């Protein structure tokens, strides 16, 4: 089974929370290949704490960088270069589905010439896009979808996070990518929330995966 890559329309759109929901829905394993900034903990630690199944494994990061910035800047601060070959070699070996969480949006640079979207292509992963509904998110969502189309990436669909006005179906129609799920903003996102949302997401997710594999 191809990995499932979680990316978003920008930073702080709920990728980690939605990655936890997808991981829980599939009882999958989880991997965050590049972590930039961890003074408040890592995304891997957050996902691990949000999962209620006993099967999922949260694999360690390939690059764990201290500065909370674009990965290419964080790496430069530590005198290292993020290499695509290293990410490919570090891809965890597992018999279960693997959920991979990106850093920021699809065009966040990982080095001077490659972007998060290039990781999706290099790992031959299915993509799930997370869109947080806010003023301006239509533009950010459609620009992201356009790049994904131009690069012939397999996109399973959207997960909408937070609800601001009523335009999710318009993004779906304009982008051509289906809606997998839509969840309201949760002030106290916890293990119970993840379990409940995973149950709601699972049927659409399994259907999208079956459709993508044919």
Whole-angstrom distance, CA of residue 128 vs CA of residue 26: 14
How many other β-carbons are positioned within 10 Å of the β-carbon of residue 94? 15
Largest CA distance in the chain: 46
What's the distance, CA 147 to chain centroid? 16
User: What's the residue count for the chain?
Assistant: 214
Catalytic residue check, 32: yes
Whole-angstrom distance, CA of residue 16 vs CA of residue 159: 12
**115 DSSP 8-state letter:** B
Helix axes 43-50, 15-26, angle to 10 degrees: 40
Catalytic residue (one of 15, 32, 64, 121)? 32
Instruction: For strands 29-31 and 155-161, give the pairing.
Output: unpaired
Give how far Cα 117 sits from Cα of 1, 79, 93, Å: 19, 23, 21
Whole-angstrom distance, CA of residue 126 vs CA of residue 4: 5
Catalytic residue numbers read: 32
């Amino acid at each position: 089974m191809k990995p499932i890559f979680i990316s978003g329309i920008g930073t702080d759109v709920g990728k980690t929370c939605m990655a936890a929901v997808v991981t829980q829905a599939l009882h999958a394993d989880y991997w965050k290949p590049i972590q930039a900034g961890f003074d408040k903990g890592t995304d891997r630690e957050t996902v691990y704490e949000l999962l209620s199944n006993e099967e999922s494994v949260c694999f360690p990061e390939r690059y764990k960088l201290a500065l909370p910035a674009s990965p290419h800047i964080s790496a430069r601060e530590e005198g290292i270069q993020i290499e695509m070959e290293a990410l490919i070699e570090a891809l965890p070996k597992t018999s279960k589905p693997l959920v991979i969480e990106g850093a920021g949006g699809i065009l966040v640079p990982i080095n001077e010439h490659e972007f998060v979207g290039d990781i999706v292509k290099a790992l031959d992963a299915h993509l799930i896009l997370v869109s947080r509904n806010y003023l301006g998110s239509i533009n950010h969502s459609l620009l992201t979808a356009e790049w994904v189309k131009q690069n012939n990436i397999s996109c399973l669909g959207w997960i909408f996070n937070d609800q601001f006005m009523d335009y999710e179906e318009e993004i779906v129609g304009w982008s051509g990518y289906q809606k997998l799920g839509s969840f309201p903003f949760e002030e106290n996102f916890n293990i119970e929330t993840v379990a409940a949302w995973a149950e709601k997401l699972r049927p659409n997710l399994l259907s999208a995966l079956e459709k993508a594999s044919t």
